Amino acid sequence: MLIDTHCHLDFPEFNQDRKEVIERAQTAGVGYIVNIGASLKGSSDSVKLAEDFPSVYASVGLHPHEADNFNDEAYERIKAMASGKKVVAIGEIGLDYFKNYSEQENQKTLFTSLLVLAQELSLPVVLHCRQAESDLLSILKEAMPRLAVVHCFSGDEKFLKGCLDLGFFVSFTCNITYKKAQNLRDLVKKVPLERLFLETDAPFLSPEGGRGKRNEPINVKRLCDEIASIKGIDAQEVAGATSQNAIKFFNLK
């Protein structure tokens, strides 16, 4: 079995064939999909998807791009949604200094607030980080989550070590298949199998050969094969280990 631990099936790219996309993934052996909320609407839609499809679970959160609009009402809405029976994490949350769509101080406020909420609810967190590694780790050390995964890992070896030293999990996406992504493939080698998840981040980051096209959870199989090749082990070993990691982390049933 495979698990796509991070995708956005609530996005409009899937409006025409969402059910078929999920069924295609199931047929290919993707047993669970964790749909990640990145906004109030996205979180609400994720909860609804989890209610409608047995193989789908939800995470609710506010992406750092949403930070300038964060207020008490938004916090309370995320908190209410987080009580859903198939909500398994808070996220994605974090910092994004690459695009800086929101003020950095507002990003920190949002991030810290939702870390505290995750602690209160005993939920793991799904982390987003772009060019904000130092601030992210500093905040996490102050508000240490119960469990955390850094999704779509794009940092350097120093940041990877910092995450692993804190006990965090790491997930890579299909961009590790890109011809110019040798730096990411080198990092994959350094992540112990017991700390690794698989994710597509669909509809983004389709694998090599499909760049520019919509990504889907079914492509988690291509990712699994790539990681197996990088690590020089059997793909079944990667699938088994990463699935067990995700089942325990997200408490999937």
Q: Which helix (H) or strand (E) element contains residue 147?
A: none
Rounded CA gap, 64 and 13, in Å?
21
Give SS3 for 70.
coil
**Could you tell me which CATH class the domain 2-250 is placed in?**
alpha beta
Cβ atoms of 212 and 206 closer than 8 Å: yes
Q: What is the pLDDT along the chain (253 residues), one digit of tens a residue?
A: 999 999 999 999 999 999 999 999 999 999 999 999 999 999 999 999 999 999 999 999 999 999 999 999 999 999 999 999 999 999 999 999 999 899 999 999 999 999 999 999 999 999 999 999 999 999 999 999 999 999 999 999 999 999 999 999 999 999 999 999 999 999 999 999 999 999 999 999 999 999 999 999 999 999 999 999 999 999 999 999 999 999 999 999 8
**Residue 166, pLDDT score:** 96
pTM across the whole model: 0.97
**Residue 191, pLDDT score:** 98
DSSP string, 34-63: EEEP-SHHHHHHHHHHHHH-TTEEEEE---
